[in-house]
Structure 1
Amino acid sequence: MGNLTEEWATEVARTELSSSLPRRWAHTQGVAKRASGVSHLFDQDASLLVAAATLHDVGYAPRLAVTGFHPLDGARFLRDERVADERLARLVANHSFALLEAEERKLRKELAGEFPLLDEPLLVDALVYCDMTTTPDGDRTTAQDRVAEIRGRYGDDSLVGRFIHRAAPEIFASVERVEAALAAQPR
């Protein structure tokens, strides 16, 4: 469990992202902060959620970008170089409906074969929620504004634009489920 601590995940992400991709690092820190804020939903998996949120974009690091598909590159790095917890690698590999983007990239078989989606819907949804309610600069936003920002940044006809268009209904549903779980918590 040593690689499920917030400190470990933060150090790994900082090492890989802060110098080479400072904006991605800012986004990562914001996503991790969101995860900390919802982690109370998960009892023993709270640290897993925060670690996955902190490491979800590590595959963007230039030295790790083997396939150019950051969920797969990040998960392989965590599994192979960092010997990370299997559930952590699977969450990173599948964050924010990565299987849909993997289809666009002709990498679905590789992603699904190496890192099957966890059968833990609320945990998977929580990672989507944290990622998709955080701007590229690490600030809070709505899922609708985040999807619009991604579409604007990449363009609707791009690979990422096609993916985000397909994933948007699933993203919005995930965010709604997490917001419902948070609202159901006693105050």
Structure 2
Amino acid sequence: MTLHLPAWARRVAQGELEQPLPRRWAHTEGVARAATMLGPRLGADSELLIAAAVLHDVGYAPRLVVTGFHPLDGARFLRDEHNADVRLVRLVANHTFALLEADERGLREELEAEFPILDDQLLVDTLTYADMTTTPDGAPTTPTARIAEIVSRYGPDTVVGRFIQRAEPEILATAAHVEQALADQPR
């Protein structure tokens, strides 16, 4: 790669999402903006965080759908077609409590075996926070409102609805953790 990681990630994600899924692309851009603001404030690996934010939903791209589970499809695409950084691929595979959704889909063992969760909890939490504080249209929101929107959009008895309701306590705890870390930072 001749481009730095976030620029490369943006080029890849934009190429896969912008035309076929403009709303998903808007969400992706919003998550990337949030990650760009959060990373430096929290001392995270900013380039890796921003790249993961830009690529976190690439698995929704129609040409990449294999399992129908976007974290797994996206991670496999990044690994297999782009030989992407292992940490980046693992962040994409495990963003926003993906293991819980994988469990709902019967894909947990597959996800865990191929893409173990990254040990850097700050990066994982910050990516989750950026995702769960961004609406489908890319605007800022609260984690509580985002969870309600997801349940409303998918329905409470769907795979995604069940997953997000099951993940809600962990998402809210992660959000509180990130917000506390931000509050603890000198201005």
TM range (shorter): over 0.9
Alignment map for 1:144-183 (pairs within 5 Å): 144-183=144-183
1:47 aligned partner: 47
Change (3 A) 1:170 1:7: same
1:13 aligned partner: 13
How many percent identity over aligned positions?
65
Distance (whole Å) between structure 2 residues aligned to residue 177 and residue 89 of structure 1:
24
Verify the 8 A CA contact 2:133 2:146 in the aligned structure 1.
yes
Verify the 8 A CA contact 2:44 2:123 in the aligned structure 1.
no
Structure 1 residue ranges without an equivalent (≥5): none
Structure 2 residue ranges without an equivalent (≥5): none
SS of residue in 2 equivalent to 1:15:
helix
1:101 and 2:123 correspond = no
| Deviation (angstroms), 1:4 | 5.8
| Runs of 4+ that moved beyond 3 A | 1-4, 41-44
| Deviation (angstroms), 1:121 | 1.2
Distance (whole Å) between structure 1 residues aligned to residue 90 and residue 42 of structure 2:
17
Distance (whole Å) between structure 1 residues aligned to residue 103 and residue 69 of structure 2:
11
Change (3 A) 1:15 1:89: same
Distance (whole Å) between structure 2 residues aligned to residue 43 and residue 2 of structure 1:
25
> Normalized against structure 2, the TM-score is what?
0.97
Distance (whole Å) between structure 1 residues aligned to residue 2 and residue 155 of structure 2:
40
Could you give the per-residue CA deviations for residues 86-142 of structure 1, whole angstroms, max 9, x where no partner exists? 000000000000000000000001100000001111111000000000000000000
1:113 aligned partner: 113
Change (3 A) 1:158 1:3: farther
2:128 aligned partner: 128
Verify the 8 A CA contact 1:4 1:48 in the aligned structure 2.
no
Could you give the per-residue CA deviations for residues 135-178 of structure 1, whole angstroms, max 9, x where no partner exists? 00000000000000000001111111110010000001111111
| Alignment: residue pair count | 187
Cα RMSD, aligned residues only: 1.3
Instruction: Name the amino acid aligned to 2:126.
Output: A
Change (3 A) 1:22 1:54: same
Distance (whole Å) between structure 2 residues aligned to residue 44 and residue 180 of structure 1:
15
Change (3 A) 1:137 1:54: same
Verify the 8 A CA contact 2:42 2:181 in the aligned structure 1.
no
Distance (whole Å) between structure 1 residues aligned to residue 119 and residue 113 of structure 2:
15
Distance (whole Å) between structure 2 residues aligned to residue 41 and residue 158 of structure 1:
36
Change (3 A) 1:78 1:186: same
Instruction: Name the amino acid aligned to 1:55.
Output: L
Change (3 A) 1:123 1:3: farther
Distance (whole Å) between structure 2 residues aligned to residue 139 and residue 148 of structure 1:
15
Instruction: Name the amino acid aligned to 2:110.
Output: E
